[in-house]
Structures are given as structure tokens and as C-alpha cells.
Structure 1
Amino acid sequence: MSDRTELPSAENPEGLLDLKVTEPKKWAAGMPAVGAAMADIFEESGTRGFKALFRMNQKTGFDCSSCAWPDPDDDRSPVAEYCENGAKALAEEATLKKVTSEFFAKNSVADLAKQTDMEIGKHGRLAEPVYLPKGGTHYQPISWDGAFKKIAEHLNGLSSPNEAAFYTSGRTSNEASFLYQLFVREYGTNNMPDCSNMCHESTSVALAEAIGIGKGTVTLNDFYDTDVIIIMGQNPGTNHPRMMTALEKAKQNGTQIIAINPLKEAGLIAFKNPQSAKGVMGLSTALADLYLQVKINGDMALLKAIELLLLEAEKETPEKVFDHEFINNNTVFYDQFVDELQKHNVQDLANAAGIPLSQIQQAAEILKHKNRIIICWAMGITQHTNGVATIKEIVNLVLLKGSIGKPGAGLCPIRGHSNVQGNRTMLIYDKPYEKQLDKLKEVFGFEPPREHGYDVVDSIRAMQEEKLKVFFAMGGNFLSATPDTVYTAEAMRKLKLSVHVSTKLNRSHLIHGEEALILPTLARSDKDMINGVQQFVSCENSMGVIQQSKGMLPPVSDQMMSEPLIVCKMAKAVLGDRSVVDWDMYSSNYDHIRDIIEDVIPGFDDYNVRVRKPGGFYLPNAPRTGVFETDETPGKVQFTITQLPKHQLAEDEYMMTSIRSHDQFNTTIYGLEDRYRGIHNERRVIFMNPVDVEKAGFKAGDKVDLYSNFEGQERKAHLYLVVPYNIPERCTATYYPETNVLFPIGSVAEKSNTPTTKLINIKIKRHQG
């Protein structure tokens, strides 16, 4: 292999722009959000994009490709049932700019890699399939038949199907996901890493073990009829802006909100609703009644402190604080849980959480006589070594209060990508259940592989060890989404073939195997026509609603192919006569795909009928109705005894977490305006507590380098600017994915194997050079 300096860069360029810092906002959305969204739509797609906006997230329209926040069951806004980042996502889908083979002829892979992730993504829609031959420097045109033939040659030439891995992003529809896993399993492997491995896998593991289903238990209407909403490790103003409308409605109905986050986030403080007269006039609705600014990964200690205070209150007024009827009828191990809880000291827990005891007492007081409680969480909880345990502690608190299986109460993991939950429902999973495999065998007649496959971290390690030869990605930006950037890039370069099905160019296309293919696909907003009939797909949102998505924009190229068709044509090319699946039928009309999903996956009865109803339908959710079918204790929910994480910092070390900017969704960078935090025209910044800045001898704007050391190996992120910020002492924050290089592949969440990109210990040194 060539020296790393001669290879296309796996990281963003190390240059600095003209950083401007302003006061952080104390409210989110408002008319500035409308202006930013409209500016992006106008710049990228003009009237074409504006027309599409009115159909996005409507009952007969198309599903936003951004977050998975649910659409209202009842009436939806006819003007703007979307958020600022949803509009920006649509702008890049609806653009008329095209990336063709002529573009690649003018731009080498190495030259493109010198651009930032934002610049790479702004070139436009991928418009035709392209191929990079072994030793090549430029992608070149290839026919679709030629691309499928190349894939078939590689896959059929492997010594074992387990030498290939098939990745799925959250953009992939239910129909495409089902066909994809069907092809992969008929091919002969369960190597199906997916984006859930990097985000809510800890949730899926924890909830499946604790309550019998790896999903949340609430509906959107529960938010409007609850007493308390607790929001942990989540920033709705940037990552799920439409959630703020639900929070505003909850507040108007008398709900109290407790926000738990290391940074003060505008979207948790107040909301200016641009669709209300009040918001247009610049008036805001206060959201968080209590804001607990916890240390990074201090959530477990905080939860235990609240529980301990509630236990003390229960002892003072028996049967008044805990729901003993629920506990006795529906749970096991309550006594053991209480015995263990009482071994803790509440002041020590407060210190570990980094929260004044008086504030924790306020939280306990809010919860003491309430049982309609919803607890929400996202990556700030899941992406820690103890992510699974912390979620089980969240369940413990809910069980004490009997806050599950009733209206206005329950567990609410806030999913990121729009159909990441649907992917798993459609059997995209490297560790399938035997009953799922048995059903595939019964319906299709082939024997699916039973051996568990590779998840994301396992796949990267297998590439590095040259156990994987072919990597196929159905969407996503795998390289930029994963940890340990240099290690992952080295691993991907050892592949014989890398294939990416994508709508836009991203850095993963530039860090490739010996040979590489990029296959352009339709986006959610694109009209999908087959045999003269317009098709639609379906998605599952965060709250288990299955709804249709029907694009309306004429594709900018006739060389784009839908994901279901790509899977069917690839399957035919790879499997040929040995396949027992009628791929031609499934590619002729997506109704046939939904018919077979109905036969395989529970809860999809009358799929084609119900999905056509405005608003779709809810999947069954037993815990939502108070029924618990856990493997270990059928009919009962377990209280779980968890351990506090231990954090040790050297005198010159800090904890660092990764965050998204406001102008960003996952790895897609829309711009350089993180206006809620007051950061403009720059992403290479590190947020530090002002006391820490002074103690370290730094000042605002100083250039620094960041170092992490894990298991004796040092990693370095070059050239960052110090920004004093309201964050707990010894805690820092940087933008993802730029500092992914610091997070080691070997640091993962227990049980879920999720990369721990929310916490690494770092040292900060003055930049040299």
C-alpha cells in the first residue's frame, strides 16, 4: 500500500476559515429558521423545490428523508409540516445540479478528497453509474448491466458469502430493506451492518431485554396528555426540530419539562413557533421548567439520585409516590433493586452527576406525585460504554412510577434517520431471531444462514483483517459515520470491491476498495415510475406508524434507479437460476413486495390496504397496552441493578463529546451556521468551560491540537479553535464527524457494540505549526 500521504484524505482538510462567535441563542426556530430554509430551497432548486415542500410529510405526499419524528395523526399543517433541516435535505434532493461521468473525468478522486465534506456534498445529484478500476484515479461511466455483472463476478468469486458485508442506511424504505435482506440471506450471509449499530442499538438491546420490544411505547398524542416530559441526551432544536411543536402543545396543556444535557441547548430552553402569530411576532414559549446541566455521562448517577430521593419520599408517605399496584402486578426484582439503591449516598450521586443536590431535589419534587411521565433520549445516552445500562435505569424509573402502558406515559427513544426503525422491522439485522429465519424458510423455501453476522464495528475489523473482500452500502456515508477514521479508511482500502448506492457524492466514495462502483438512486421526493405506473414506498417513524411515501419530482436523470429495482436486478445477476425468489414480480410493482412482507412479518395484515389510508397505521406494540413478553420473565418487566460508570481523568485531561451543528444532519453538512450556539463560518472548534480555558492558559480563538490515548495508542486531531462555552468543567464538545479520528474502534457500548462517540478522554495542546 502507498504511503498514507499519497492517498485520498479520509478526513476534512485542516484549514481554518474566518470564525465568528456570537452569543448563544436562548430560543430556537422562529422566522430565522424559515428564512434559512427558504434560502437553501431557492439556491438549490428554485420553484421545483418550493412545490415539493408543500407535499413533504403530507398524508398523500412523500416522507422527509431527514429525521424520524412522527407526523400528526390528525390534521397537518398545509403550509409547513417540516423543519428547517428537512427543507435543507429536500433542497439537496431537488437540486438540478448533476454529477455525471464528465464531472468525474475532470475531477480525480484525490482532488475531490481535498474538499470538505460540505463541498463534496454540494456538487449535486449523482446522475449515472460510475466505476473506478483497479489503480484508477478517476471514476468512469459504466452501464447498469455492467455494474451488476461486476458485482456478480466479485460476489460469486468469494470463497464464502461471509466474505461480503451489506450495509443499510436509515433512508432505505421498508420495501427496499425487505428485498435487500432477502437477497443477502439467500446469497448466504447475515453480515448486515446498519446505521442502527451506531445510534440506537443500545436502545434496541436494552428495551428488548427489559420490556420485550426494542422500540418506544408512546404515540405523539401521548405528548399532548402527559404531566411530565424528561428529555435526556437529546437536542431537539437541531436534530428533531418538529418535536418542539409537540413540546409547545404539551406546555400549553400544563406539562412540565425536565431537560438533561451537558450543554445549554436553545431548543430545550424556548421555542418560537413560526406557524403561530405569537412566533411570527417574535414571542417564544418557554420549554424546560428545570434544566439539569449534567456532566458528560453523568446521567446514570443523576437517575439513581432522583430514584433515591423518590424512595425517601415513598418511605415518608407509603403508597403515595411509587405505583405499587403496577409494581406488584407487572414487575419482578423490586426488593433487590431497592436494596441496592439504598447502598448509594445521594450527595455522592449528585457529585458524580455534576448537578447541585438542590436541583435534583427539584426534579424529584416534580415527579413525586406524577405518574403520566414520558422519558425521551437519543445519542447522548446510547453512545456510551454503559449506554444499555443507562437505558435500563431509565426503565427502572418508569417502573417505579407505573409510567408505562397507559395514556400520556412511557418510553420514547428519539430515532435519527427517517426509516432506521423500519429497517430493523424489515429484518435488517446481523443477529436475526430463529423464528424470523424459520418464517423466511417457510415462505420462500430456502435455508437462510443461522450464524450471526458482522455489525458495523465487526465489519470494520473484518476489513482490516482482510476477512471481508466486498462491501456493499445501501445509502449512507459509512466512512464519515464510523469512528477511528484512519483505521476505518485503512480497512476499507483493503477491500477488493466497494459499492455505494447513493443520491449524492460523499467521502465514502473517495475511500474505496481496489475497485469501486457508485450507483445513483432515486430520492424520496423523486417520482418512481414502473411500466407506466407510479409506485410508492413506505416508512416507519419513531412511534411505530407505517405510512406511504410517494415522490413527485421528475428525476434529473433517466440513469437513476430505485433501490427496490437495484436489489432485484442485483439479485438476478448474482444468484441467477439458483434463486427461488421471483425477483421479476417484485420489480414489476411494489404492491407485490408489500404482499410478501405481510406473509413474513407480524403486524402487516392487509398491508396494501392499510398503508393507502391517510396517515397509515400503527404496528402492534404490546408494552404500549401494558403487556410485557420478555424472554427471561414472561409477562413481567424486570427491575435491573446497574453499576455507576467510573470516570478517571488525569490532571491535564478532559472529557470530550461529539455533537452536531445546527447546519447538519448526521454526516451531511448543509452549511457553516451553528447559529443557536453562536458559531459561524467554522466547524473546527472545541467548546470548553471558561474556567478550564483560563486554567490551561488558553484564550478564546487559540489554535490547539487534540489528543486521545486508548490502550496505548495515541490519536490526534489537528488544528482546532478554543471557544469558551457554558459546559460543565472538565467537559468539552466538538463537531462530528471531524473528530471521529479521536474515537477508537475498540471503545464500544457493552452488549450493543455501539461506538462510544459521546465520550473520550482527551488532552489539549497548543497547535504546533
Structure 2
Amino acid sequence: MSPQDPPSDQTKPDDVSDLPHDSGPAGGWGSLKGIARIFGDQWPSPTVTDTLRRLNKPGGTMCASCAWPKPANYHAFEFCENGAKATIWESTSARCTPDFWDDHTVSALRDWADHDLESTGRLTAPMRYDADTDRYVKVSWDEAFSEIGTILKGLPPEEVVFYSSGHAGLEAAYLWALMARAYGNNNLPQSSNMCHETTSVGLTKVIGSPVGTVIWEDLEQTDCFFFFGQNPGTNSPRFLHPLKAAKDRGAKIVTFNPVREQGLISFVDPQDLHAMTTGEATVISDQYHQLRGGSDIAAILGICKAVIEADDAIGGVIDWAFINEHTQGFEDFIDFARTTPWQAICAECGLPESDLRDAARVYMQAERVIGVYGMGLTQQTHGSWNIGMLTNLLMLRGNIGRPGAGICPVRGHSNVQGQRTVGIAEKTKLIPMDKLRNLFGFEPPQQDGLHIVDAAQGLIDGTVKAMVCLGGNLMRALPDTDRLEQAWPRQRLSVMISTKLNRSHLYPGQSAYILPCLTRSEVDDQESGNQWITIEDSFSMIHGSRGHRKPASPDLKSELAITCGIARAITPANPALTWEAWQADYARVRDLIEATYPDDFKDMNARMNQPGGFWRGNPAHERVWKTDSGKAEFTVPDKLNALDFDDAPGRFRLLTMRSNDQFNTTIYGYSDRFRGIEGTRDVLLMNPEDMAEAGLSHGDIVSLVGDAADGLPRRLDGLSVVHFDLPRGTVGSYYPECNVLIPVGLHDQLSKTPASKGVPVRIQATRPTA
């Protein structure tokens, strides 16, 4: 299919009755075939092989996919299947030029699938929406910046939002935040608001750190991993290498997840010739416990209860020295664990007491334990309780702040953590406003800005009049899709800094611009030469990155250059705001980052390219607790699950999931081989017993209907039921399609992270498969 042809239904059949369920290992030949398929689909520039060779190595390009750390002792190929797909996807030979709009209107493109929109190729020139023709038309960069500036200067600052995805480097992110504050607001939501803001808020509350405590050396020393709600096979495949190394030296891995994710079951290392030749797989999880969606609190409490009972019986199990010296609130927690009946714990999580005791036995036998989690814990209405409970478990045996142990949230986007570090935050308490005042000679705004959930509600209410987006596909990524599609065009202005066409471009504001940017792997040639940028990984390591490929179009600008162009148009004249000089030499921006955050970024320019990156430090890693009490805090949840609704006849707990063929809202194709889903994304994964009770058969076509407390109608039609190994009462379907079912107001109560892993739904049968 030509990238500019209309989408075809041939790739997404209605009938999925013959879908196989692939039980093969992660990695191996399946991974290589997946890469080859995307390569053949995109026909990227031949230079992509050189980019892949340099990926995640000193002097090369840091992967634009996940935020998994880059080891100092790197492999010959330091990329995974998803990293290769992301690199190939952005290196495509297809181009979405201004001529594309001669044959397509914005309204007509709304019927295209996400995959087909991005398959039109790289955007090549800045574009402005023309309402009379319902098309985008080419505009010069100077015109775009001037017109955007005129509109923004005419709006009250509180009505404007400056969103950023997790892609841009630290330099562009720092200037983006500076631009917003010089303009007059702290409306700086970021993609972490939708995934790991629960970590930033929840971990800060209990250990005083907004990020995980683990570094690379801890992975090499640990005796045991406990996984909760994280899937390395799809979301961070390079994690599988240290997991295999841990298994080879005898470490144990215990997994809790409603879904049996193949990456946590078995793995064949594609860089191991013997394994590839023989198919010999490493068994990853020693125990795999499929708990009910949203019930991690109960499962973790059961493990803690077993540990406490063992200490009561024989002593020497709990690390009392650590608890007495370093923690607060233990008495309330131990009383909660002792008085909560096993029957209540097991009824909630759906696991027998014996399973929880088996997990506790592994935990007690291990000297050093790392607790790993992902969005399966953060995206719940009480996700902060989940994180508090996992921290409770680790603290019982002193497994935070010593070698080989700690808490390890695995971030999604490549620089999502780093952007927060350098100032993209809506909360003023997180920003050294005095430093900004002294460095730049203006008074930064002191009022907290809008979280992304507040911004979405503001769009719906009409109080937000402009969205300026540094990357991302925000309208597709946010909950309440139908309401946002109605609200987005009512804005006075929408600006999208993008590499490819996406659905957010198809609902333009009254004035709307698409500003095309370079990718990370392309040469960023400024006055002082090809520029370095920096990113921060999940372990708080800072890495330099530089592109080597020729840009897809001579009319592209870097994210930092676009930021400076907008900033010049909207910020007051100020001799200290030298946007032109910063654009000419990014090293000057790194000097500003160091001046603003000297403890984290000392000698940044000198250290950014050292192998493995440089660590910006973490007090909790050294058992220094930056909490209100000065100690690590045990917490007690109000109930045994992290949901805001009760079970009821016909009500299910929906988990939204990502396929093996996607990254965030980017859909590379229709192959989710680990789940056996091929050729479609329109599926509802369901327990066979639940199917029988509901009178459904494999392949029936159903609708999911939202069952949230606000009572507003929400539905997703045309889903084929697939019998799947899930706990009873839990169903699964794909993100972002399921965002239509999630209310903006359904979010973690502490951090406002959308609760995409615990959505109340009902199922309505539409028709059986013919």
C-alpha cells in the first residue's frame, strides 16, 4: 500500500476466531523478524544501519524509545526490538510533503487509522491550517513564529498550556520551561503526568525521592527481583539482558501481573549464537502470579503478612535495625498487616494463601531484593497506595539504600524523567525560582500551573484557549477521547511540534500550526556545528547524544531551535534571555542547567559523554530521606485495592495494554505476537469462564461501555472477543483506542495520573461472528 493511499480494511479483519496464542520466548528469531518486517514496510535510509550500530553508545545517538539505562560495558548491538523499530520508523523513506494536502482534507483523514497516518512519512515543512479548504498549507518559519507570537501575546497567560512529551533533550526542555515562565505561567504538563507522576509524588512521600533508587551496579548484585505491573518484553526489552544475567548466577524472579507477559516467562538472547541456533531459552520468572486487576495492594500485603508472621515465630526475619533507625509509621503498618484476615487478602487478589506464602519465602531467603514496577501500579485511582505498599515490603528487610537492593520504576519515554529534572513541572515548589530570578532578571510566576488532567478539563470547559505541544500526540494520548475531539477545535490556537502526521493534527484549533522537527538521530547543524543534546535515563544517569544522519528535509528545525523561535516571538525583551546565542551553541544551555541545578549537573559539559553516563545522585540511595519526617515512611492504605469502584454483576476491571508493535500512541503495525493477536487491534481479551457466563463465544463482536460514576455515556464498538488467560473479572484491550472509555476525572487521587489500568466497564453483545 502506498503511504498516501487511503487506509485499507484488509489489514484489520473482523474475524479473529483463528488467532494463535504464541507461547514462544521473547527475543530470539521473533524479535529479528519483527524488526525485518518494519524495515520492509518503511524502507528507511541506508544510513539507518549506521545509526543502529551507534545506538546507546558513547558518541552515538541515545535511543528515542524507552528510558532503559545505557551500560558502560555495552554490547556490540546495544538496542532492542522496540528501539530498532523506533529508529527505522523515524528513518523512513516516505515523506509527507505539502503536496500531500492537494489530495487530502483534514476531515477525510479522521477515518484513517493511527498507523496509516504516520505511514505517510516524515513531515518536511511548517504548515498552517486553512479552514476554507480544510487543508494544511505551507508557511515559512518566520511567518509561523510571528503569527503564533501575535496570538499568544493576545491571550492571558493562564489560558495557555505548554505541553512536552518525553522526547526532547534536556537542553530543549530547559529552554521550553524557561520560555513558559518568561511568558508568564507554570502551565508545563508533561507526559509523565500520564504515566509515572504517581512515582514522582508517591515515592517522594515515602522515601523523599521522586525517582527510583537503583543504579546499574545494583542489578549486578541483587539476589532477587519482584515485578509488579511491568512488562519488559514489550516496554523495555533491553532489561531482559540483566535479567538473564541474574538468572544465570542463580537469582530469583517473582512476578505479579494479571497478564502472562512473555518477556517475564522466557527469553532467547538474540546476541547469543548458541541460544539462537538451538532455541534454548532462559526461564525468567521462578514464580508467576496472575492477580486480579487493581489488587496489588492485597497481594503485597499478603507477602508482608507472611514475613511478619515468620518473624513473630522465629525472629531475625525483619530488619529491625533498619526500621528503628530509618523509618516511621511501622507500628500502624504491622498492626494493619496482622489484623487483616488472610481470607480478605486472598478474596481481593484472587490468589491462594499458599501462593503468597511461596512468594514471601523467596523474599525472605534473598539477602538483596529489587522491587520493579511499571504503569500497572501507577495508573490506578489509588496508585500511590500501590507504590507505598511496595515500599513497605522492601523496607521490611532493609531493601532500600544498600547495594543490590532498591525500588526500580521503569520509565517509558526516553527523556521523560530528565525533562522533569530540568524544570518542566507545573508545581512551583519543584523549581528553584530564586535561581531563575538571579540568572535571567525577571520575576517567575509563583502560581502553580496546570497538570495535564487539569489542562484536558480546561479544554473541555473552554478555560484553556491554546495548546503548544513539544512533541507527542496529546489528543490521542489523553482520556475522554470523544469529549476532547469536540473541545480541541474550539481552542484559539493549537501548535504541534512533530515528526510525522498524527491524530492531534486532525482537530485543528481556530489557528493551527504543524512545526516539523529533526529526530534525535539526524544532524543538528547550528552556528557552532553539529550539536550534542543530553538525556536522563531511569537510573538518573545523564548521557550525551548526537545525530549522524542527513535530515529528512532541509526545512526541518531542531526542537531547541523551534523553542527559541517561539520564545523570541512571545517573551518580553530581556538582555539576559539570549535565545539566538543558546540556539547557536547548546553547550551554553548546559552551562545554564548546571548553574540552575549545580548539585545534579556539576561539570555537565565535561562529563556527558563518559561511558554509562554520569549519575546525578539520589539521597535515598544513600539512606538520606528527604521526607517531612526525615525518615522513610511506612503507609497504610484505606482498602485492599487501588480502584475507586466496587465489583458488581456485569462490571469488569479493564486493563489497557500496549502491543508488541507500538510505542505509546505510535502503532508500527498489527502484530502482537506475544499475545497471538495478528492483523487487528479491535479485540477484547477475556477469561473463558467470564465469556461463558456472559453468553459470549470466541470471535463475537461486542461493545465496551464505560461504567464510571459520572454517568456520562462512553463506548467503544466493534471489538472481537478473544478467549485469553486472564483472572476472572479482568478484561484487556488496547491503548490508545480504549481512552474513549476513561473519564478525565478517573485518576490517581494523589498525582492525577489517569487510571488506565483500572477502568470500570460493561460488555454489550453486538453480533456473533458469521
Alignment TM-score > 0.5, same fold: yes
Contact 1:13 1:116 in 2 (8 A): no
Which amino acid is 1:33 matched to? Answer: S
- Asked whether 1:114 is paired with 2:118, we answer no
Paired residues of 1:659 and 1:736 also in contact (CA < 8 A): yes
Give the alignment of 1:44-83 within 5 angstroms: 44=42, 45-74=44-73, 76-78=74-76, 80-83=77-80
Match of 1:684 among 667, 682, 685: 682
Which amino acid in the other structure matches residue 702 of structure 2?
V
| Alignment match, 1:288 | 285
Trace 1:407-446 onto structure 2 (pairs within 5 A): 407-433=403-429, 436-446=432-442
Using a 3 Å threshold, how does the CA distance of structure 1 residues 58 and 498 change in structure 2: closer, same or farther?
A: same
Distance 1:437 1:379 in 2: 31
> Normalising to structure 1: TM-score of the pair?
0.96
Amino acid in structure 1 at the alignment position of 2:119: K
CA drift of 1:26 comes to 4.3
The answer on whether the counterparts of 1:41 and 1:49 sit within 8 Å (CA) in structure 2 is no
Partner Cα distance (2:748, 2:500) in 1: 31
1:658–1:739 Cα contact (<8 Å) kept: yes
Q: Aligned-pair RMSD on alpha carbons?
A: 1.7
Whether contact under 8 Å (2:70, 2:613) holds in the other structure is: no
3-state SS, counterpart of residue 565 of structure 2: helix
Partner of 1:459: 455
Task: Give the percent of matched residue pairs that are identical in Structure 1 and Structure 2.
Answer: 37
Instruction: Name stretches of at least 5 consecutive residues in structure 1 with no aligned partner.
Output: 1-8
**What is the SS of the residue equivalent to 1:493?**
helix
Deviations 1:13-45 (A, max 9, x none): 997455351023242110121122133234421
Q: Distance in 1 between matches of 2:377 and 2:391?
A: 13
Is the Cα–Cα contact under 8 Å of residues 183 and 572 in structure 2 kept in the other structure? Answer: no
Corresponding residue number in structure 2 for 1:92: 89
Q: What's the secondary structure of 2:745's corresponding residue?
A: coil
- Would the aligned equivalents of 1:173 and 1:419 in 2 still touch at CA under 8 Å? yes
SS of 2:707's partner is strand
Indicate the SS of the match to 1:714: coil
8 Å CA contact 2:428–2:447 kept in 1: the answer is: no
Alpha-carbon offset, residue 517 of structure 1: 0.3
Once the two structures are TM-superposed, the CA of residue 51 in structure 1 deviates from its matched residue by 2.2
Instruction: Tell me the SS of whatever aligns to 2:250.
Output: coil
Structure 1 CA distance, aligned partners of 2:438 and 2:528?
A: 34
* SS state at 2:675 partner: coil
- Which residue of structure 2 aligns with residue 522 of structure 1? 518
Measure, in 2, the Cα distance between the counterparts of 1:384 and 1:294: 15
Contact 2:12–2:681 (Cα < 8 Å) also in 1: no
After TM superposition, give the deviation of residue 430 of structure 1 in Å.
Answer: 0.6
Match of 2:671 in 1: 673
CA–CA distance in structure 1, aligned partners of residues 613 and 571 of structure 2: 35
Residue identity opposite 1:174 in structure 2 = L
Aligned to 1:27: 25
Q: Quote the Cα distance in structure 1 between the aligned partners of 2:609 and 2:256.
A: 39
Conservation of the 8 A alpha-carbon contact between 1:154 and 1:470: no
What letter matches 2:654 in structure 1? M
What CA distance in whole angstroms lies between the structure 1 residues aligned with 2:347 and 2:669?
A: 38
User: For the structure 1 residues 714 and 292, does the alpha-carbon distance in structure 2 shift closer, same or farther, using more than 3 Å as the test?
Assistant: same
- Work out the CA distance in 1 between the residues paired with 2:205 and 2:762: 37
8 Å contact kept, 1:173–1:423 = yes
Residue 637 of structure 1: how far off its partner (Å): 0.9
Matched, 1:655 2:653: yes
Render the CA deviation track for 1:227-256: whole Å, top value 9, x for unaligned. 110111011111111111111011112110
Q: Secondary structure of 2:713's match? A: strand
Counterpart Cα distance in 1 of 2:711 and 2:751? 24
Give the deviation of 1:371 after TM superposition.
3.6
Describe the shift of the 1:136–1:709 C-alpha distance in structure 2 as closer, same or farther (beyond 3 A): farther
1:205-284 counterparts in 2 under 5 A? 205-281=201-277, 282-284=279-281
* Aligned-pair CA distance for 1:434: 6.4
Q: Is the 8 A contact 1:383 1:757 kept in 2?
A: yes
SS at match of 2:339: coil
Mapping 1:361-760, distance limit 5 Å: 361-433=357-429, 436-531=432-527, 533-578=529-574, 580-601=576-597, 602-630=599-627, 632-634=628-630, 636-644=631-639, 645=641, 647-710=645-708, 711-760=710-759
Is the 1:13–1:115 contact (alpha carbons within 8 Å) kept by the matching residues of 2? Answer: no
Partner residue in 2 for 1:5: none
Preserved contact between residue 403 and residue 410 of structure 1 (Cα < 8 Å): yes
TM-score (norm 2): 0.96
Tell me the distance in 1 between the aligned counterparts of 2:594 and 2:369. 34
Whole-angstrom CA distance in 2 between matches of 1:745 and 1:300: 24
Tell me how far apart the structure 2 counterparts of residues 649 and 578 of structure 1 sit (CA, whole Å). Answer: 58
Q: Quote the Cα distance in structure 1 between the aligned partners of 2:692 and 2:519.
A: 49
Q: Which residue of 1 is the match for residue 3 of structure 2?
A: none
Taking a change above 3 Å as real, the CA distance of residues 614 and 361 of structure 1, as seen in their structure-2 partners, is closer
Deviation of 1:172 after TM superposition, in Å, equals: 1.1
- Distance in 2 between residues matched to 1:420 and 1:391, nearest whole Å: 19
Change (3 A) 1:423 1:385: same
Q: Is the 8 A contact 1:97 1:124 kept in 2?
A: yes
Indicate the residue corresponding to 1:4 in structure 2: none
- Deviating above 4 A after TM superposition, structure 1's stretches of 4 or more consecutive aligned residues are 12-18
Q: Given the superposition, is the C-alpha separation of residues 638 and 13 from structure 1 closer, same or farther in structure 2, using an over 3 Å criterion?
A: farther
Which residue of the other structure, out of 304, 307, 313, is the alignment partner of 1:316?
313
CA apart distance, 1:426: 1.0
Partner of 1:157: 154
What is the CA–CA distance in structure 2 between the aligned matches of 1:614 and 1:241, rounded to whole Å? 21
Q: Distance in 1 between matches of 2:174 and 2:123?
A: 24
1:36 aligned onto 2:31: no
Structure 1 residues 709 and 336: CA distance shift in structure 2, 3 A = closer
Letter in 1 for 2:233: G
Measure, in 1, the Cα distance between the counterparts of 2:131 and 2:142. Answer: 19
Asked if 2 retains the 8 angstrom alpha-carbon contact of 1:194 and 1:456, the reply is: yes
Shift of 1:110: 1.3
CA–CA distance in structure 1, aligned partners of residues 258 and 575 of structure 2? 53
Distance 1:702 1:347 in 2: 36
- Counterpart for residue 175 of structure 1: 171
Cα deviation for residue 341 of structure 1 reads: 2.0
Counterpart residue type for residue 117 of structure 2: I
Matching residue's letter, 1:430: E
1:398 and 1:270 map into 2 onto residues whose CA distance is 26
1:318-349 Cα offsets, whole Å, 9 max, x none, are: 2x111111111111121222122222012320
Q: How far did 1:576 drift?
A: 4.8
The answer as to 2:302 corresponding to 1:305 is yes
Distance of 1:464 and 1:223 partners within structure 2: 45
What is the letter of the counterpart of residue 557 of structure 1? S
Q: How far is 1:443 from its partner?
A: 1.7
Moved more, 573-582 or 657-666: 573-582
Query: Aligned partners of 1:280, 1:574: CA distance in 2, in Å?
Result: 56
Instruction: Give the total of aligned pairs.
Output: 753
Cα offset, 1:221, TM superposition: 2.3
Give the C-alpha shift of residue 622 in structure 1: 0.9
Tell me: CA distance 1:405–1:24, structure 2 relative to 1, closer, same or farther (3 Å).
same
Amino acid at match of 2:764: K
1:100-158 CA-partner distances (Å, limit 9, x unpaired):
11112221111221110011111111110000034540000000001101110111011
Deviation larger for 169-178 or 706-715: 706-715
